[in-house]
Structure 1
Amino acid sequence: MRRVVITGIGLVSPIGSDRETILENVKKKKCGIDQISAYDVEGREVTLAAEIKDLDLEEEFTRKEQKRLDRVNLLGMIAARRAMKDANLTVEEIEKEKVGVFVSSGIGGLQSIEEEHSRGLKRGFDKVSPYFIPMAISNLTAANIAMELHAHGSCQCHVTACAGSTNAIGEAFRNIKHGYEDIIFAGGSEASITELGIGGFTSMKALSTATDKDRASIPFDRDRDGFVMGEGAGIFVLEELEHAKKRKANILGEVVGYGTNCDAYHITSPAPGGEYAAKAMVLAMEEAGVSPEEIGYINAHGTSTPLNDRYETAAIRSVFGEDPEVLVSSTKSQIGHLLGASGAVETGISILTINENILPPLIHSKYFDEECQLSFVTEIEEHKVDYFLKNSLGFGGHNASLVLKRWEK
């Protein structure tokens, strides 16, 4: 089977939209969560989110382009452009190769859905934008990236809620491994910090109602009360190893294992005990050919919701032992929950930090739940990790795990 390496990473996140800024803010333990600025939160139960505030869309897109693209498309396309640049690829090279695009979104163009519904109520629904449907449907971020890059291989959108971009990376890994493509742009994009998006998650009691941004997204803490919505995009350039070597690409890491399954239990709650989340981890390690003892770090799904953190801890313990030594953290403590983009952005941040011999810390969690006792990374300290595992768990019982390997030059 062919080996699959990472030759480019493009990230747009609440703690930065370029590698240097993200690394600096991880080291500073900066929190990207603050009061919502996208709309007036007066009288709302939920007032905090992790918005992107360092990105000027005017520098990236013309007004005409912004008019026909939803924010979820724009963020994904920016991440793809940066991944392409990072991989030192050109459009001419992409056109000639077997290049695919696998980009997830949990919800798609929610901002456009809200705006066009309001316009329809005022002007009549036959007067909504002709771009409305292409802006709203989830697959169009992947399609727009493919069109811009001239990537003529398989173009897919994996909609598995919060496991989406982890599934996208895993399925891309398998497609390259088995020879269907040579390169795939894989990841996810999400832009759901809108009145309806926040309102919907508030109504189902999924979001934190904390008003202190330093005590809102606190995975595994006994005081956690829900997740904090984030936005952003993460795109990887995954490439067959020999293909990457031939063009002298800079290799950042290697994808070596992938496991995925479904709890088939409940529309929102993970299955008690985390049995199938544990199986997803085991499947990923089996494909990677590594034992639990070889995994040095787990970037947990860690949403800061009562059920997820409890059951994910149970899953980790069932695989790694009742008192596991493997290091664990959740990047959501810094960037909130990016839904369908969370797996890709968190994996990207993990790779960048591991290549610096540090790990992304769990910030602001102080009083760990007795049912969530693990070996948490809370400080910036030197750690050399050869293999790490990424978990993503989505509404509907979707479980996805990746095993990635440090690349030794």
Structure 2
Amino acid sequence: MINPDSDTVIVIRGRGRVSALGLESDWSVAASPFSAHPAGLPVAALPAAAEAAVAALRQSRPAYRQLDRTVLLAMLAARQAVASWQLSAARIELPVGSGQLPADNIISRNNLTTDLTTNHWQLATDNLAVSIGSSRGATGRLEEFHAEFLAEGRVPAAASPLTTLGNVASWVAFDAGQAGAAALSHSSTCSSAFQALGNAVAWLRAGMADRFLAGGTEAPLTAFTLAQMRAIGIYSPFGATDWPCRPGTGRPSTFVLGEGAAVFVVERGSRAALQKAGKTALLLEGVGFGFEALGSKTGLSADGQHFQQAIRAALQQAAVAPAEIDAVVLHSPGTPAGDAAEREALRAIFGEQLPLLLSNKWLLGHTLGASAALSLDFALYVLETQTWPTPPFATDVNGPCERPVRRVLVNAAGFGGNAASVVVSLGV
């Protein structure tokens, strides 16, 4: 457990995302962002403007043209995160480790543009590390190479390096201008992004890096992956325009697949320096993990033991009591068993009077390895704006709240009985 009296804090200094809601940071929406896939299922695919940004990024360098869509989404979100960090660095001074941010890393707001595909948003620092999670990695390219093998009996030499999970973080690091620090890729199904974030926090607290780009990415809207999700028997029966993903509504199952990425700039900072400056910051207070070994295809117990372990570990690391949590961004994928198990886990910890329950999956679908990162981005939006969109269907999520939201718990879970939870706050 981290000493709660320690001066060290982990600060979220920048963030970026790409999803069915596009590239903007606003989470409000007027109409269903879902669309119909050629496979006959509703999906949460990128809108036209975001799709154009991905296409432009792919064409910006010859080497990028061969990359999987999962990698490109991560790179695009990372560029947004760095641009966001540069803006915040231009506004405030925040100690990192034992020193100050280098003067040449402080970028004037007037020097920033919004074209994330033709400018390299580089942190240009030797101590920048990268940690990216993805459940399935280079799904599209893997399927393309396999189809080519079945048709022609051969594959190109680039097939192996382009489909290993490690190429996600390594390309993000290259695009960010990294010079020799770690580039780590993680896969633990749908909690992958929090595994990546937890690893980043551990490295920062250990002094093994001063700054991380950390998050998650997934581009699973391929025919084979959709067929896999349909085979499990959990896919939503609702059409794309009828808000097909409905967490917290019970039966039928309303799982819908989506694509996207979210990446954060996280740094080691000083609580005393923040307090002295009177600055408010987004703090990553705790990261916890839980595991169950049940021998089932999903690894899920009825009372969500892995959720309970992860939540308790995150609360302990943050040194906060359950009563200090104002809201929970649920994993809640819209499956009856999954939704119910998470709520039972919450009752075991919070009692019958649960905090405000929030979800963004009714807007994004389930983005697998990116889902935890996108949930974290949603939590930070709630902390900053004190607002959240209301679903157009009856559910137990995204209702009204009678008190300010100052501290949020974010949950994630995946096949194999693993769960992860993060505590974030707006504080000094």
> Does 2:35 correspond to 1:34?
yes
User: Aligned runs of 1:161-180 on 2, under 5 Å?
Assistant: 161-180=189-208
> Does 2:168 correspond to 1:141?
yes
Structure 2 counterpart of 1:202, from 222, 226, 230: 230
Structure 1 counterpart of 2:15, from 9, 28, 31: 9
Amino acid at match of 2:80: R
Secondary structure of the 2:76 match is helix
User: Aligned runs of 1:24-103 on 2, under 5 Å?
Assistant: 26-28=27-29, 30-36=31-37, 40-41=38-39, 44=40, 47-53=41-47, 54-55=49-50, 56=52, 57-62=54-59, 64-88=62-86, 94-103=123-132
Given that 1:358 and 1:382 are in contact with CA atoms closer than 8 Å, whether structure 2 keeps it comes out as no
Given that 2:20 and 2:258 are in contact with CA atoms closer than 8 Å, whether structure 1 keeps it comes out as yes
Which residue does 1:217 correspond to in 2? 245
Which residue does 1:279 correspond to in 2? 309
Which residue does 2:142 correspond to in 1? 113
Q: State the Cα distance separating 1:154 from its structure 2 match.
A: 2.2
Q: State the Cα distance separating 1:354 from its structure 2 match.
A: 1.9
Amino acid at match of 2:316: E
Amino acid at match of 2:29: K
Secondary structure of the 1:388 match is strand
Given that 1:100 and 1:154 are in contact with CA atoms closer than 8 Å, whether structure 2 keeps it comes out as yes
Amino acid at match of 1:392: A
Q: State the Cα distance separating 1:251 from its structure 2 match.
A: 6.9
1:321–1:27 distance in 2 versus 1, CA, 3 Å: same
Distance 1:245 1:142 in 2: 32
Deviation per residue, 1:208-231 (Å, 9 max, x gap): 233254342111102331410000
Q: State the Cα distance separating 1:318 from its structure 2 match.
A: 0.6
1:243–1:119 distance in 2 versus 1, CA, 3 Å: farther
Given that 2:79 and 2:121 are in contact with CA atoms closer than 8 Å, whether structure 1 keeps it comes out as no
Structure 2 counterpart of 1:378, from 393, 399, 419: 399
Amino acid at match of 1:159: S
What is the root-mean-square deviation of aligned Cα atoms in Å? Answer: 2.5
| Poorly superposed stretches of 4+, deviation over 3 Å | 28-31, 89-97, 242-246
Q: Which runs of 5+ in 1 are unaligned?
A: 369-373
1:313–1:288 distance in 2 versus 1, CA, 3 Å: same
Number of aligned residues: 382
1:113–1:28 distance in 2 versus 1, CA, 3 Å: closer
Q: State the Cα distance separating 1:120 from its structure 2 match.
A: 2.3
Given that 2:82 and 2:121 are in contact with CA atoms closer than 8 Å, whether structure 1 keeps it comes out as no
1:132–1:214 distance in 2 versus 1, CA, 3 Å: same
Amino acid at match of 2:298: T
1:243–1:320 distance in 2 versus 1, CA, 3 Å: closer
Deviation per residue, 1:163-198 (Å, 9 max, x gap): 010221122122212222110100011000000000
Q: State the Cα distance separating 1:300 from its structure 2 match.
A: 0.3
1:62–1:237 distance in 2 versus 1, CA, 3 Å: same
User: Aligned runs of 1:190-269 on 2, under 5 Å?
Assistant: 190-211=218-239, 213-242=241-270, 252-265=281-294, 266-269=296-299
> Does 2:217 correspond to 1:182?
no
Distance 1:30 1:316 in 2: 31
Distance 1:244 1:96 in 2: 25
Distance 2:236 2:272 in 1: 43
User: Aligned runs of 1:123-162 on 2, under 5 Å?
Assistant: 123-125=152-154, 128-151=155-178, 152-162=180-190
> Does 2:294 correspond to 1:294?
no
Given that 1:219 and 1:365 are in contact with CA atoms closer than 8 Å, whether structure 2 keeps it comes out as no
Q: State the Cα distance separating 1:27 from its structure 2 match.
A: 2.8
Given that 2:122 and 2:177 are in contact with CA atoms closer than 8 Å, whether structure 1 keeps it comes out as no
Q: State the Cα distance separating 1:82 from its structure 2 match.
A: 1.1
Q: State the Cα distance separating 1:277 from its structure 2 match.
A: 0.9
Q: State the Cα distance separating 1:382 from its structure 2 match.
A: 8.6
Question: With structure 1 as the length reference, what TM-score do the two structures score?
Answer: 0.87
Amino acid at match of 1:73: V
Q: State the Cα distance separating 1:252 from its structure 2 match.
A: 5.0
Question: With structure 2 as the length reference, what TM-score do the two structures score?
Answer: 0.83
Given that 2:74 and 2:262 are in contact with CA atoms closer than 8 Å, whether structure 1 keeps it comes out as yes
Secondary structure of the 2:303 match is helix
Secondary structure of the 1:31 match is coil
Deviation per residue, 1:345-399 (Å, 9 max, x gap): 11112202320121354x2441x5xxxxx6x3236x7962111000001100111
Given that 1:217 and 1:224 are in contact with CA atoms closer than 8 Å, whether structure 2 keeps it comes out as no
Which residue does 1:333 correspond to in 2? 362
> Does 2:425 correspond to 1:405?
yes
Given that 1:29 and 1:334 are in contact with CA atoms closer than 8 Å, whether structure 2 keeps it comes out as no
Amino acid at match of 1:286: Q
Distance 1:107 1:222 in 2: 28
Q: State the Cα distance separating 1:60 from its structure 2 match.
A: 2.2
Secondary structure of the 1:161 match is coil
Q: Which runs of 5+ in 2 are unaligned?
A: 1-5, 87-104, 108-119
Distance 2:126 2:342 in 1: 40
Q: State the Cα distance separating 1:267 from its structure 2 match.
A: 3.1
Amino acid at match of 1:319: I
Distance 1:269 1:31 in 2: 31
1:119–1:139 distance in 2 versus 1, CA, 3 Å: same
Q: State the Cα distance separating 1:202 from its structure 2 match.
A: 0.9
Distance 1:344 1:188 in 2: 6
Structure 1 counterpart of 2:351, from 306, 309, 321: 321
Amino acid at match of 1:315: A
